[in-house]
Amino acid sequence: GITVMNEVGLDPGIDHFYALRIINDIHAKGGKIINFYSYCGGLPAPECSNNPLGYKFSWSPRGVLLALRSTAKYLENGKEVTIEGKDLLKSAKPIFTYPAFAVEGYPNRDSTPFAKYYNVPEAQSFLRGTLRFQGNPAFMQCLVDCGFLDDTPRDFLAKDAPATTWRETFAKLLGCEATSEAIEEAVVKKSGISGESRARIIRGMKWLGLFSDNDPIKGGNYLDTLAKTLESKMSFQEGERDMILLQHKFDVELKDGKKQHITSTMIEYGQPNGTTAMAKTVGIPCGITVQLVLDGKITDKGVLAPYAPHVYEQLIPLIEQDGIKVVDEIIDL
């Protein structure tokens, strides 16, 4: 007899509100959703993306790494596509949002149930994905190929283990000698990186300290030890700000047979030394939903998500009052 409303943050959350607004409007007019693509990224603002990965953490580094172990599923041209976690980042491709942003996208876990939740059985393609700045997926894929997502306990990575070096720790993971030359050779063999990409990724690994004599911040296993290193090297510094980039893309067929391409885009920037864009876009819709439940304006009972019009139609104007805005663009084809 209680209300448990899930998926009312950013992604999932705001993405649902605005996707369903477009979808239900098209359906009400007798139209069909042919293709739907939704990409969202919590990123550093471009001027703050000043490290080899083009990324800083506005949420858990461990959560970012764990997400890379998940199998992804989506619909493409009427067929279900499955990508194993180990190959997830290899599927990353350039995503055109705005010309100023060089971003790549890859699928985010299992998109297929959402086609049902959104009531778009007619959709030939349906994908929910993650955005990163150009080059990040290839770098992270190399870390995956090297074995850094392994969370098997390791005695030498226990918090009370004797001091070691990152170079020795990395060499053990790769099964090679603890020299920079041997490590680089092993990384190349495991990942297949070459040319400019090889040079860029090896430089990035050295920037992280993986070839160094520094004692790693031990996390008990390789995944958590890497997470602690990423957090120490890639946190936001004083005066920096984050950015949220969310874009839906719809290919639509109207009742009269005419075609449209619709984009819904949200760009939010955090406040330097203040509220992050991530905190704002997750916290505000969640807080407003709580208030609507307390005020008796959402009375549904059970374990819910904001897919019903009477839920998201109340939320959209209220989050916009707090400065969260999605801009729609419609192009007749």
Using DSSP's 3-state secondary structure scheme, residue 108 falls into coil
- Catalytic-residue membership of 11: yes
Q: Parallel, antiparallel, or unpaired: how do β-strands 302-304 and 259-269 relate? A: unpaired
Structure tokens at 113: 């149930």
- What residues have CB less than 8 Å from 152, skipping those under 6 apart? 221, 222
Catalytic residue among 11, 15, 151, 224, which? Answer: 11
Torsion (CA) 115, 120, 126, 130 in degrees, nearest 10:
-60
* Burial annotation 186-197 (CB, 10 A radius, 16+ → b, else e): bbeebbebeeee
CA-closest candidate to residue 34, choices 74, 97, 76: 76
Which DSSP category does 235 fall into? Answer: B
Two tokens at 201? 């990724």
The DSSP letter of residue 249 is E
Catalytic positions, written as ranges? 11
